Amino acid sequence: MEMPILIQGFLKKRMFPAPTIPKMRPLARLENFDYTIVESHFELRKPKLMSPENPRPPNQKDLHIMFYDPDVKGDHGLPHDPFKALVSPRPIGWISTLGSDGVINLAPYSFFNAVSYFPSYVMFSSSGLKDDPMKHSWRNAEETGEFVCNIVSSELADAMNMTAKHVPLSVDEMALAGLTPEPSEKVKAPRVKEAPAHLECEYWKTVELPTNNPKFKHGVIFGHVVGIHINDDIIVDGKVDVTRYNPVARLGYMDYTQVDKVFSMDRPDDLSMGRKMLGDAPYKNKSDT
């Protein structure tokens, strides 16, 4: 056996329940690709799949739950960071803006969401690049005071992905992806004509987040939605029917999903249900928020 080497190998995370494992364990090389973990009390338990025949012991409820500190690089011990896969699916805001020189910019943001309703506000979050700490969408939104969120249908997935390409500010990304600019009603930034719906936004403010690396800036850009376009063909019985356009959402890694199944649930405290049961008013579903 060679001299032990101190490594915080990622394998340890997979083999042990995180809460019971000390941070550092000496790892010793045996030969070729074989290693051993050197420790006085040996607890190497292979994770067992739980089943009715092999139930989880009541005192080991956390046996297969890993814990890691997301501020410590690589602490998850997995080949890819799992954070974004856990917070999913995330809708994609396909942000169109105009540069101060009038060039159209278009880029997808999955740190995107609606954050309030009446008044309607949305946000997208830009994580800067080493050579360009403020991404173009952020810069343009601040400089011009407006942006548009285009909704991504499944048939636009490839075009959307194409517009994530890092190109100079002088490149029109709608043209790059073969899309058609359509004038907006209340803002100068154009919409993507092919998109099934659009939110015209007036820039409100940016909240800059603390950063783990001063070379990268993180800004959450908020906008007030001042106009909404919806293609008639996605409205069925007075409601937006997502199965007509299958919005694309981001999962983790390079994975996506599209919405093609919907189920409904009434709110437990929906007063209109009570009224319906008492018979003093017609049933009206008010679960809009």
Return the closest-CA partner of residue 14 out of 71, 82, 72: 82
Shortest CB 107 distance to ligand FMN, Å: 3
Residue 153 interacts with ligand FMN (CB under 6 A)?
A: no
Distance CA 186, CA 197 (A): 15
Q: Report the Cα 249 to chain-centroid distance in Å.
A: 8
The residues, any chain, with a CB within 8 Å of residue 3's CB and separated by 6 or more, are 28
CB of 71 closer than 8 Å to CB of 212: yes
Q: What number of chain residues touch ligand FMN (CB under 6 A)?
A: 17
Q: Of 10-18, 44-52, 158-166, 233-241, which segment contacts ligand FMN by CB under 6 A?
A: 158-166
For the chain, the distance separating the N- and C-terminal CA atoms, rounded to the nearest angstrom, is 64
Shortest CB 83 distance to ligand FMN, Å: 13
Which one of residues 96, 125, 153, 184 is an interface residue with ligand FMN (CB under 6 A)? 125
Q: Report the Cα 14 to chain-centroid distance in Å.
A: 25
The pair of structure tokens assigned to 16 is 């042990």
Distance CA 197, CA 193 (A): 9
Return the closest-CA partner of residue 234 out of 247, 246, 244: 244
Q: Of 7-15, 22-30, 44-52, 135-143, which segment contacts ligand FMN by CB under 6 A?
A: 135-143
Shortest CB 234 distance to ligand FMN, Å: 21
- Between 84 and 276, whose beta carbon lies closer to ligand FMN? 84
Which one of residues 28, 66, 114, 164 is an interface residue with ligand FMN (CB under 6 A)? 164
For 5, other C-beta atoms within 10 Å of its C-beta total 12
Residue 109 interacts with ligand FMN (CB under 6 A)?
A: yes
The residues, any chain, with a CB within 8 Å of residue 260's CB and separated by 6 or more, are 243, 246
Give CA separation, 112 vs 6, 198, 237, in Å: 41, 14, 28
Shortest CB 249 distance to ligand FMN, Å: 9
Which one of residues 110, 150, 153, 206 is an interface residue with ligand FMN (CB under 6 A)? 110
Residue 96 interacts with ligand FMN (CB under 6 A)?
A: no
The pair of structure tokens assigned to 81 is 């960071």
Residue 250 interacts with ligand FMN (CB under 6 A)?
A: yes
Which one of residues 136, 191, 198, 217 is an interface residue with ligand FMN (CB under 6 A)? 136
Residue 127 interacts with ligand FMN (CB under 6 A)?
A: yes
What does the radius of gyration of the chain's CA atoms come to, in whole angstroms?
Answer: 25
- Between 76 and 250, whose beta carbon lies closer to ligand FMN? 250
Which one of residues 12, 13, 76, 135 is an interface residue with ligand FMN (CB under 6 A)? 135
Shortest CB 105 distance to ligand FMN, Å: 5
User: Could you list the residues that contact ligand FMN (CB under 6 A)?
Assistant: 92, 105, 107-111, 125-127, 135-137, 161, 164, 166, 250
